[in-house]
Structure 1
Amino acid sequence: MAESYDPRHTAVLLVDPYNDFISEGGKLWPRLEPVAQDVGLLDHLRMVIASARAAGVRVMFVPHRRWQEGDYDTWGHPNPTQRGIQERHTFARGSWGGQFHPDFQPQPGDVVAHEHWGQSGFANTDLDLQLKQHGITHVVVVGVLANTCVESTGRFAMELGYHVTLVQDATAAFEAEMMHAAHELNGPTFAHAIVVAGDLVTAFKEARSGS
């Protein structure tokens, strides 16, 4: 693997690890499960996060807005995803579905960015500020969904001048075609590296031993 990651300047951006998305019983898990199981999403997320922490790579949570009563009711232009959240009460604040998966809980030293309303983890949040204040130049974007929040966050990161890595098997989408679009068609237009979890873990181990 050609890419190298200095732990002092690298962060893993964990996008939307909510129970509603990635836990059995979550509102969106039935739609995500086939692809998630096919790519080994949860195991690969565990691998990436554990290896990042072991190497001293900072972990930053990039959460979607947690729905609460009144959200979007008076908006002029809510998008289709926001309409769906409004109807289903996805990621409802104070609910089990609006909590992070038990295996992906913030730990001391992690950063939890402000919640994003749309798809980019940067728009109208403090994510860029947090990255800059922590000296981050390289971001590794994982989580869900591959073709919406992961892609949008990665694109925005590139526009802001960050080195962007996508991890094919540490994300998932509702359809295999969406994964293909995210990693084979769209990803190469903005990401500096598109890897699999095993290669990233090896790169993090090498970074740790060389630091």
Structure 2
Amino acid sequence: MTTSSTAAATTSASTAAPAAYDPSRTAVLLVDPYNDFLSEGGKIWPLLSDMAAEVGLLDNLRGVVATGRRAGMPLVFVPHRRWEEGDYENWDHPNPTQRLIAQRHTFARGTWGGEFHPDFQPAPGDVVVKEHWGQSGFPNTDLDFQLKQHGVTHVILAGLLANTCIESTGRFAMELGYHVTLVRDATAAFKPEMMHAAHELNGPTFAHAIVTTAELGALVG
């Protein structure tokens, strides 16, 4: 087997989905489903709209959520910090994304852009974890605690952005011992190259499975 063939086989094996997901031990993590990301008129939507249309983002997000709900999996909302006046001021080293949020007032608290998209609203029994300041949904939040309290060992990630919050949350989940599934067409990024990096280069180094929305539906049943 050639080096390239070996690498391809390793990548394929490392991202193979399990034969089935146990709904009592699996949660769908819906990351940052804000109007600013997902709705016409949102501050970030113009940067995402082309990729969102290419992958069928909104329909696939609806599909992942419906699959999880139908199976009885916990649905866990993993929201980014909603910008408030004074955020990031006088910080020693805000990251580039935080500096942009401070300029754009992205996901501003109390505004339409900082509300969840109307198709992705928490229902009774859903979990909404504390807001994350950076890119991973785990540090400085109760995400790990909530997952453990619900007996979750497997997480399915969908939402925004593929190469930032989804990747960072997935990596952290792997480090904490969770089985991680990425849904490649239920996320988006600003450029095709970012999507490629997220799912073809970086994802296979930490995710246990990388699937499409249709594949996930078939596995969950």
Q: What's the TM-score once normalised by structure 2's chain length? A: 0.92
Residues 52-107 of structure 1, C-alpha deviations (whole Å, 9 max, x = no match): 10110110000000000000011110011000000000000000000000000000
Give the structure 1 partner of residue 78 of structure 2: 62
Give the structure 1 partner of residue 58 of structure 2: 42
Give the structure 1 partner of residue 147 of structure 2: 131
Preserved contact between residue 132 and residue 141 of structure 2 (Cα < 8 Å): yes
2:78 partner letter: V
Q: What's the TM-score once normalised by structure 1's chain length? A: 0.96
CA distance in 1: counterparts of 2:101 and 2:17, whole angstroms: 40
Paired positions, count: 205
CA distance in 1: counterparts of 2:88 and 2:41, whole angstroms: 25
Which of 27, 39, 53 aligns to 1:23? It is 39
Residues 149-196 of structure 1, C-alpha deviations (whole Å, 9 max, x = no match): 000000000000000000000000000000000000000000000000
CA distance in 1: counterparts of 2:104 and 2:80, whole angstroms: 15
**Counterparts in 2 of 1:1-211, with a 5 A limit?**
2-3=17-18, 4-205=20-221
Q: What is the root-mean-square deviation of aligned Cα atoms in Å?
A: 0.7
SS in 2 for 1:143: strand
Residues 122-149 of structure 1, C-alpha deviations (whole Å, 9 max, x = no match): 0110000000000000000110000000
Percentage identity across paired residues of the two chains: 73
Q: CA deviation at 1:2?
A: 4.6
Which runs of 5 or more residues in structure 2 are unaligned? 1-15
2:159 partner letter: G
Preserved contact between residue 37 and residue 48 of structure 2 (Cα < 8 Å): yes
Displaced runs of 4 or more, over 6 A: none
Q: CA deviation at 1:23?
A: 0.5
CA distance in 1: counterparts of 2:100 and 2:113, whole angstroms: 15
CA distance in 1: counterparts of 2:125 and 2:173, whole angstroms: 21
SS in 1 for 2:112: coil
CA distance in 2: counterparts of 1:120 and 1:2, whole angstroms: 23
Instruction: Name the larger-Rg structure.
Output: 2
Which runs of 5 or more residues in structure 1 are unaligned? 206-211
